[in-house]
Structure 1
Amino acid sequence: MASQIRPLRRHNGVNPLLHRFCLTVLALTGVVVGVWAYFAPLHWYNTFPGFGLQWLPVLGPYNEHFAKDVGAMYLGTAALAAMAFAYLGNRALMRATALMLSIFNLLHLVYHVPMLHMYGPLDATLNVISLTAILACSLATALPVKTHTSRERSTAPARTG
């Protein structure tokens, strides 16, 4: 019995809705943290992430310069995520966005994991969940976006109206 060799199937990519969802999460996170940290740095430091939780004071003393730099960086990530959202079909932009955000979010998570002992169980768990979810969104933007081939477009029903 001869073995059959199947040709490799080319991955057509993932649904663009996944990318749009992840880029929206990343942009909104960047805007919220960025505006808060840049324009109200002491309030951000004392009350982040909100909801009665305080994650920053246990990590060290307040530093306005550092807080504003964090805010500026998050606003930059929001702008990049928004640009990638607007130009979803631009593979180079998507790869650059995925690389930048994934590096930042991975290193951010790696920094915080050894610091979890400074928090209570709820705060430690929420830290890991939120940072991992943001990293997952960053990594998901690296997946190729599903595009229609010229053959699929030619056989697709014509739009009316």
Structure 2
Amino acid sequence: MKTRTPPLTCLALGYLGLTSVLVGVWALFLPRAFYDRFPGFGIWVAGDGPYNEHLVRDVGGLNLSLAMLIWFAWRRPDHVAAPVAGWAVLAYAVTHFLYHSGHLHTLTTQADRLGSVAGLLGAVACALILVRRPLT
């Protein structure tokens, strides 16, 4: 008998998957545009230092790999345990949050600072929702 995936787990997987696909595709295929304009309403990457295409493309590939893992967990949570996706995201999301929290001075407006922290905390919160489920 198939168990029902809790709605909060589906929501967390959906949010993480969508944001990973958006960042991954943008950074991997349009790295300069990602560097210059991410997240589209402010400049969150360019203020942190000189452009590095290799680094930005790596970020894109990382996000697409996470998106694939999250997509499989969302599609078949009974085959790919949602907690595994949560731990994978958590390993990235916590360090990403810590880095940017220490570099808020690179963002030019208070709205950008708040938006950055909120988005990064959203990923951490979603990952924590997923890891709270026991692995079976």
Give the distance between the partners of 1:37 and 1:16, measured in 2 at CA. 32
Q: TM-score, normalised by structure 2?
A: 0.89
Match in the other structure for 1:110: 98
**Whole-angstrom distance in 2 between the partners of 1:44 and 1:144:** 34
Q: Detail structure 1 runs of 4+ shifted over 6 Å in the superposition.
A: none
Unaligned runs of 5+ in 1: 1-14, 146-161
Matched residue SS, 1:82: helix
Aligned to 1:73: 62
Q: What letter corresponds to residue 41 of structure 1 in structure 2?
A: P
Q: Which residue of 2 aligns with 1:58?
A: 47
User: What is the CA–CA distance in structure 2 between the aligned matches of 1:54 and 1:118, rounded to whole Å?
Assistant: 9
- Pick aligned residue for 1:48 from 25, 32, 38: 38
Partner of 2:17: 27
Residue 26 of structure 1 and its aligned partner are, at CA, apart by: 0.6
CA distance in 1, matches of 2:64, 2:29: 11
Offset from partner CA, 1:120-156 (integer Å, 9 cap, x none): 21111111111001110111111228xxxxxxxxxxx
Q: Which runs of 5+ in 2 are unaligned?
A: none
Measured on the aligned residues, the alpha-carbon RMSD in Å equals: 1.7
Aligned residues: 130
Correspondence 1:87-102 to 2 at 5 A? 87-90=76-79, 93-102=81-90
Matches within 5 A, 1:141-152: 141-144=130-133
How far 1:31 sits from its partner (Å)? 0.6
Deviation string 1:10-50 (CA, Å, 9 cap, x unpaired) is xxxxx611111110111111110000000000001000000
| 2:44–2:106 Cα contact (<8 Å) kept | no
Q: How far, CA to CA, are the matches of 1:96 and 1:113 in structure 2?
A: 26
Which aligned pairs between 1:135-146 and structure 2 lie closer than 5 A?
135-144=124-133
SS in structure 1 of the partner of residue 131 of structure 2? coil
Q: Which amino acid is 1:140 matched to? A: I
Cα displacement string for residues 56-106 of structure 1 (whole angstroms, at most 9, x for unaligned residues): 11101111111111100000010010011012234x632221111111101
Distance 2:64 2:106 in 1: 28
